[in-house]
C-alpha cells in the first residue's frame, strides 16, 4: 500500500467530515492518535472539545445556538485501563461498556450501525489503542450503509499488530463533499506520523479546510510507561 502524505490528503479534501489517525511515532516510542471534527451547518460548527477525565467530550460553544445535540454532543475519547478508545459518536461509550463486560472491540460495535442521518447515513468510525508491557497494537472500524442503502449495514474491522515506527492509518467519514455525502471507501489510508506532538498537531490543523474545521485532538502515549501528552485545538475560542 502506498504511503500517502497526510498534509496533502487533507488539503485536497474540503470536507472529509470527521477523521481518526492512529499510528506509531518514527522513533518507535509513542503511540499516536488524532481525532478531528468538521462542520457545514451552524449547529455542527458550534462546538468545542473539552477535557473530561482522561478523555474529551464535545460541547456547544454557544449554548443558545444548539439546536439538535443528538449526533454532535458525545465523548469522542475515553480511556479504560491500558486502552484508549476514539470514535466519531456515542459508540465510544458502547465500546467502553462492552470491553468492561468482556466483549472485544468488534463484538461491542455489533450493537451499533451507521448514523440515522439519511440521506447521508454517516458512517460510525472507531479506533482502539492498547499499550501494555512496552507493546502497542491498535484496531479501526467502520460501520456504513450499503452504498447509501440503509437496509444493510456493512461492518469492517482492521487490526494492526506491532505497528511499524513512523506509520499510521487514517480513516474518515466522507470521501469528499457532496449531497448526499459519500461514505468513506476502502481500508484506512497508510500515512506518516511525526515524532513531535506540536509539529504533528500544527500540520493537521493547518491542513484542514479553514471554513469547515471545528476541533482537533492529538495524543501521544509513551509505550514504555503509558504516560501521555495531549493537545486540543478549537476554532471557537
Domain span at residue 170 reads 6-234
pLDDT value for 224: 98
Structural domain includes residue 212 = yes
Closest by CA to 164, choosing from 65, 19, 22, is 22
pLDDT digits (tens, 9 = 90+) for 18-57: 999 999 999 999 999 999 999 999 999 999 999 999 999 9
Q: Is residue 148 part of a domain?
A: yes
Helix, strand, or coil (residue 107): helix
CB 16, CB 40: distance < 8 Å: no
Give domain status of residue 10, yes or no: yes
Say what the pLDDT of residue 209 is.
98
The CATH number of the domain holding residue 196 is 3.60.20.20
Establish if 133 belongs to a structural domain: yes
Q: Does residue 23 belong to any structural domain of this protein?
A: yes
C-alpha cell at position 95: 465500546
Specify the length of the chain in residues: 237
pTM greater than 0.85 (yes/no): yes
Number of domains comprising the chain: 1
Report the distance separating Cα 46 and Cα 63, nearest Å. 8
Smallest Cα–Cα separation from 118: which of 138, 144, 92, 97?
A: 144
Q: Which distant-in-sequence residues (6+ apart) come within 8 Å of 174 by Cβ?
A: 15, 16, 17, 120, 122, 181, 182, 183, 184
Phi, psi of 164 (to 5 degrees): -80, 135
| E strands present in 17-173 | 19-24, 30-38, 47-52, 55-60, 77-80, 83-87, 124-132, 135-146, 149-161, 167-172
CA distance 207 to 211: 12
Predicted confidence pLDDT, tens digits, the chain (237 residues): 999 999 999 999 999 999 999 999 999 999 999 999 999 999 999 999 999 999 999 999 999 999 888 889 999 999 999 999 999 999 999 999 999 999 999 999 999 999 999 999 999 999 999 999 999 999 999 999 999 999 999 999 999 999 999 999 999 999 999 999 999 999 999 999 999 999 999 999 999 999 999 999 999 999 999 999 999 999 999
Residue 94 lies in a domain: yes
- Residue 1 falls inside a structural domain: no
Amino acid at each position: 500500500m502506498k504511503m500517502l502524505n497526510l498534509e496533502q490528503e487533507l488539503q485536497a479534501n474540503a470536507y472529509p467530515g470527521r477523521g481518526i489517525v492512529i499510528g506509531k511515532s518514527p522513533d518507535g516510542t509513542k503511540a499516536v492518535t488524532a481525532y478531528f471534527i468538521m462542520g457545514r451547518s451552524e449547529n455542527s460548527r458550534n462546538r468545542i472539545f473539552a477535557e473530561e477525565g482522561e478523555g474529551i467530550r464535545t460541547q456547544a460553544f454557544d449554548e443558545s445556538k444548539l439546536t439538535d445535540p443528538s449526533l454532535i454532543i458525545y465523548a469522542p475519547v475515553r480511556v479504560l485501563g491500558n486502552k484508549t478508545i476514539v470514535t466519531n459518536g456515542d459508540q465510544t461509550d458502547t465500546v467502553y461498556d462492552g470491553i468492561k463486560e468482556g466483549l472485544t472491540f468488534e463484538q461491542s460495535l455489533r450493537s451499533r450501525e451507521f448514523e440515522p442521518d439519511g440521506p447521508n447515513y454517516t458512517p460510525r468510525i472507531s479506533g482502539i489503542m492498547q499499550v501494555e508491557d512496552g507493546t502497542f497494537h491498535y484496531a479501526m472500524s467502520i460501520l456504513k450503509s450499503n452504498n447509501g442503502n440503509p437496509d444493510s449495514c456493512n461492518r469492517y474491522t482492521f487490526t494492526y499488530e506491532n505497528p511499524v515506527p513512523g506509520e499510521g492509518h487514517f480513516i474518515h467519514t466522507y470521501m469528499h463533499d457532496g449531497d448526499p455525502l459519500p461514505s468513506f471507501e476502502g481500508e484506512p489510508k497508510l500515512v506518516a506520523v511525526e515524532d513531535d506532538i506540536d509539529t504533528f498537531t500544527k500540520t493537521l490543523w493547518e491542513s484542514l479546510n479553514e471554513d469547515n474545521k471545528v476541533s482537533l485532538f492529538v495524543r501521544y502515549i509513551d509505550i514504555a510507561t503509558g504516560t501521555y501528552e495531549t493537545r486540543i485545538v478549537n476554532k471557537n475560542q
